[in-house]
Structure 1
Amino acid sequence: MVARLAIWSATLATLASGLTVNIHPSTRYQAFDGIGVAEAFQRSLVLHELNTPSQKLALDYLFSNKTGAGFTILRNGLGSSPTDPFDHMKSIAPTAPRSNNSELNYIPLPRNDEYQVWLSHQAISRGVTYIYADAWSADGYMKTTGTDTDGGYLCGVTNTSCATGDWRQSYADKIVRYIKDYQAQGITIDYVDFLNEPDLNTTYASMQSDGQQAADFLKILYPTLKQAGLTTEIACCDGSGWEQQRERLTGIQEAGEEDTLGLVTSHGYSSPLSTPFATDKKVWQTEWSTFDPINYDWYASGSQSEGLTWANHIQQAFAVSNVTGFDNQSLLFVNNTAEVSVTKRLWAHAHFGSRFIRRGATRIGATVTGDSTNALNVTAFANTDGTTAVQVINNGNDTETVTLEGLAVPRGGAGAVRTWLTNQLHNLTQGSVVDNNGCWVAEVPAKSLLSFVV
């Protein structure tokens, strides 16, 4: 017995000599909305066509807070195409009415909105709390180009001239009808966006807009939603990059329409996330990915498609850019109707999903002392139920011993503190932690992400 105690004391002394992660619960930053996934362009159809066991597996990987990433945000596509071959999102008003003053020719949601209605129900049943509908474009007959592809502008906004007149009200009416169609299916759309990457002109569904032009439509859409008695809030504008979105947000602010927004959204392609936007609105990063070949590595060479890279992107989005939500792509791949393969990027997201961080949590202060090589990045979130989740990323080449301080934890309480590890060898594997006189000590291997849950 004496020998065992001596060994245990020596272990504690060794552990306590490492780095310290200091948590500052009274230092409070932005609220936390969640982590999400985008399934537009008929990716919901791909999931629907899986056989039953594979379908359940894929859905649980994405949305389960027991066995998967615990995503709580689902981003659907609000269609504008007149037809629906694969990769197109069909409109609920695919044929032009007689004029811009005529009622639109509505049809029922095509194939359950390309099975997005089905997917929404599946996601909600697994814990999703936000449904976000995003339109890549207005219908072609509402635009300067006459097609929903290849850019162009919504007729009626600044610097447009359309022989068919102003289509802003028709576009707003269509969005309201879409939201009500989902309501009829028992689904509340929490946020709706009328633009996607409006700084780009692409060969697929796309519509361009600067900040003033977005404000021109907000003046129509906001009262139209209110008059319809809807609680859905407006998101804008899913700029292709952080600075492209900042430019559009500034234009909306200068036009005096920021108050019509409930959410500011951006992507990370054209420019990465950086300093926060000058707004008191919620901010989500709603799409950011790489177009590399499928990569299942956590860390091999430091490429942009590896899990560790994305763990750092997610953490810095919350810690530096002050986002309240983060969405991503390329998390799992489906082959035919049976095979589901998961990338390490999904497990990076899981550390920030609802398994550990709940909707309504608040990011709190977290700093590191003793880290002369700046190997560690840390964040911490306080949940409303009293639990705290701390994410520690070790970007260095050596295992680091970390002592967690600053949280009031019952000493020696069974299960009071737990850890989960993700790296090349582990996918959210529960680990061990030592109580060292009221401080909590664990090892973080090189190139790893370790979450403490207190």
Structure 2
Amino acid sequence: MLSTSLFFLVLFALVRAQDDNDSTDPAALPVVTVNVSTSQTYQTISGFGISQAFNRAASIYHLPNATQSKILDLLFDDSVGAGLTILRNGVGSSNSTALDYMLSIEPNPPSTSISNGTATYAWNGNDSSQVWLSQQAQKYGVQTFYASAWSAPWYMKSNENDQDGGYLCGVTGTKCGTGDWRQHFANYLVQYLREYQDAGINVTHLGFLNEPDISPSYAGMRSNGSQAVDFLKILAPTLQSSNFSHVKLVCCDNTGWSIAGATLSELQSASGEKYLSVYSAHGYSAAPTDPLKTSLPVWQTEWSDLTTPFTALWDSAVNTTDDDTGDVTTTDGTEVDGFVWATNIQDSLVKANVSAFLHWMGAEESSGSDMLIRINSTTNSYTVSKRLWAFAHFGRYVKPDSRRIYANSSAAWEDFSVSAFESANVGRSGIKSIAVQVINKGWANVTVSMRVEGAREGGVVLPVTTNEGVDVGSGEYLAVWEGLVNATVPARSLMSFVFS
């Protein structure tokens, strides 16, 4: 049997031999130095996820079993898929499923039509297949379920419509002839939690607003920060008295980072932060580029491109050099490129300190690119976009309770960006695993010389690459030698280095 030291000498020699035979000589490439340290930590990670609200879960459910299983694997499996760990379910408020609206569990007001009347709930047991999807996700180890209400039912609102904005009756600034519906809506949300609990699903997070800064043609409800607190004062104690004190309250899912900051300030001024476990926002109107001013974990809970036709590409940008003049011309890619979403995720984690990052849709049948996987129910087939593989680098290797740790590089962020995370669990070697993600945004391969404080000397590193030609492709193990790892990072690529 080889001694431990001899084993790693052999392993190092094999890795060096492979590098020497590589078609690209690392010594001839530009060098970027990367430094990673476990001694400086940042936010704790909650996870990465998707939604299948607005009847999109049913799009998966109605597929043949074999196709259904493959899509579930792609979303939640750590080996062949993205390894996602958060599922955001939509709490319905509508009386119809037309246009994929989500059904209310109390479609009609109490017989007295006043807010203190007795509720009659109508639970169909499947919630547009979201119950089934949650049960399937649990089989993959998903434990974080975010129940997110877009609106209260129509009769609880100032405009008597679950669409087109309107306010919850009873919050500051509303005058509703039927009374104050805040307690009734709190009871409604608790009933939703009970129904899922009875189905074997413990909802971990609950939100009651979705993009409250706009008035959409679908379910939606307006609110500013202080009005949100008007309801939180009712909802928080209702959860406590109903044995759901473990459910974490989330607010306020504004359309973008800028308006989220303003809403947060209003909420804080009204002393509402104490009711929350998570502050949340979407990435549409303004991307997550700066930390929000709160000590709460911050989640980016919805973002996608809602206008671009479907594409599965990693990088549609083009870089050309004129043969005569040598002038270089770069044409930008589209906002739905997998490369762009890799950058969106990493920027949000590093620049905005988010603890969770959720894409809007996981899988759906649509002509757009607002999903990670496009379903074709006519042929019972699907197409995987490269956006899914961008998520895989984080979903697979950065699990819940991991901590972001210090990482920087010698290159400018716009040319070469880096992030790093340490797992919460100790492995068989007695240390925690470390995952480092680097994005080479340039048009040439580079050599990375990476020093990772906290990595085990003589340990091994798994390099994983995604670009136009490779989907989360694992390379040969690299050796940690005198604290250093050297590797080639291809142009326009995302690479993860997993130290285990």
TM (normalized to structure 2)? 0.86
Paired residue secondary structure (1:417): strand
Distance change (3 Å), C-alpha of 1:14 and 1:186: same
Paired residue total:
446
Alignment partner, residue 398 of structure 1: 444
Equivalent of 2:402, from 338, 361, 368? 361
Specify the alignment match of 2:135 in structure 1: 121
Rounded Cα–Cα distance in structure 2 between residues aligned with 1:145 and 1:64: 44
Corresponding residue for residue 258 of structure 2 = 243
Give the secondary-structure state (helix, strand or coil) at the position aligned to 1:381: strand
The separation in 2 between residues aligned to 1:27 and 1:52, in whole angstroms, is 46
**Cα shift at 1:204:** 0.4
**Inter-partner Cα distance in structure 1 for 2:57 and 2:201:** 16
Output aligned runs, 1:18-167, within 5 Å.
18-97=31-110, 98=112, 99-108=114-123, 110=124, 112-167=126-181
Alignment check: 8 A CA contact 1:16 1:441 kept: no
Superposed CA deviations along residues 52-100 of structure 1, whole A, max 9, x for unmatched, are: 1110010110011111000000000000001223511001100011221
Match 2:393 to one of 330, 336, 351: 351
Aligned pair 1:335/2:376, yes or no?
Answer: yes
Q: Could you tell me whether the CA contact under 8 Å between 1:16 and 1:403 is conserved in 2?
A: no
| C-alpha distance in 1 between matches for 2:133 and 2:400 | 21
Corresponding letter in the other structure for 1:96: P
Bigger drift between 243-252 and 72-81 goes to 243-252
Q: Report the CA distance between 1:432 and its aligned residue.
A: 3.3
Distance (whole Å) between structure 1 residues aligned to residue 496 and residue 102 of structure 2: 39
* Aligned position for 1:388: 434
Q: Structure 2: how far apart are the matches of 1:18 and 1:428? A: 23
Offset of 1:251 from its aligned partner? Answer: 1.0
CA distance 1:71–1:340, shift in 2 (3 Å)? same
Is residue 444 of structure 1 aligned with residue 489 of structure 2?
A: yes
Give the aligned partner of residue 240 of structure 2.
226
Tell me the alpha carbon deviations over residues 380-402 of structure 1, each in whole angstroms, 9 at most, x when there is no partner: 00002200000000000000111
- Which residue does 2:354 correspond to in 1? 323
Amino acid at match of 1:450: M
Flag structure 2 segments of 5+ consecutive residues without an equivalent: 1-13, 318-332, 361-370, 427-431
8 Å contact 1:16–1:436 — kept in the other structure?
Answer: no
Q: Could you tell me which of 378, 383, 404 is aligned with 2:418?
A: 378
The one-letter amino acid of 1:57's match is: K
CA gap of 1:15–1:66, structure 2 versus 1, over 3 A, is farther
Give, in whole Å, the separation in 2 of the partners of 1:138 and 1:408.
Answer: 49
* 8 Å contact kept, 2:267–2:273: yes
| C-alpha separation in 2, matches of 1:117 and 1:433 | 41
Distance 2:28 2:436 in 1: 18
* Cα deviation code 1:117-136 (max 9, x no counterpart): 00001011112120000010
Q: State the 1:144 CA deviation.
A: 0.8
Residues 1:86 and 1:53: Cα distance change in structure 2 (over 3 Å): farther
Equivalent position of 1:254 in the other structure:
269
CA contact (8 A) 2:224 2:263 kept: yes
- Find the partner of 2:313 among 263, 287, 297: 297
Residue 98 of structure 2 aligns to a residue whose secondary structure is: coil
Measured in 2, the distance between the counterparts of 1:363 and 1:374 equals 20
C-alpha distance in 1 between matches for 2:264 and 2:413? 37
CA RMSD, Structure 1 to Structure 2 (Å): 2.0
Runs of at least 5 residues in structure 1 that lack an aligned partner in the other structure: none
Match of 2:230, SS?
helix
Query: Alpha-carbon deviation of 1:289?
Result: 0.7
Alpha carbons of 1:167 and 1:408: their partners in 2 closer, same or farther (altered >3 Å)?
closer
What does residue 218 of structure 2 align with? 204
**Cα distance change, pair 103–15 in 1 and its aligned pair in 2 (3 A):** farther
Structure 1 residues 13 and 121, CA gap change in structure 2 (3 angstroms): closer
SS in 2 for 1:114: coil
Q: 1:145 to 1:13 in 2, by over 3 A?
A: closer
SS for the counterpart of 2:400 is coil
In 2, the alpha carbon distance for the partners of 1:347 and 1:449 equals: 10
- Map Cα deviations across residues 108-163 of structure 1 (whole Å, 9 max, x no partner): 2x351011000001011112120000010000000011110111001111111111
Which residue does the alignment assign to 1:426? Answer: 470
Cα offset for 1:8? 7.7
Structure 2 distance, partners of 1:92, 1:6, is 63
Q: Note if contact 1:15-1:441 (Cα within 8 Å) is conserved in structure 2.
A: no
Code of the residue aligned with 1:383 in structure 2: it is S
Q: Is the 8 A contact 1:433 1:442 kept in 2?
A: no
Assess if the C-alpha contact under 8 Å between 2:418 and 2:437 holds in 1: yes
Give the Cα–Cα distance (whole angstroms) in 1 for the partners of residues 17 and 84 of structure 2: 42
Shift of 1:328: 0.4
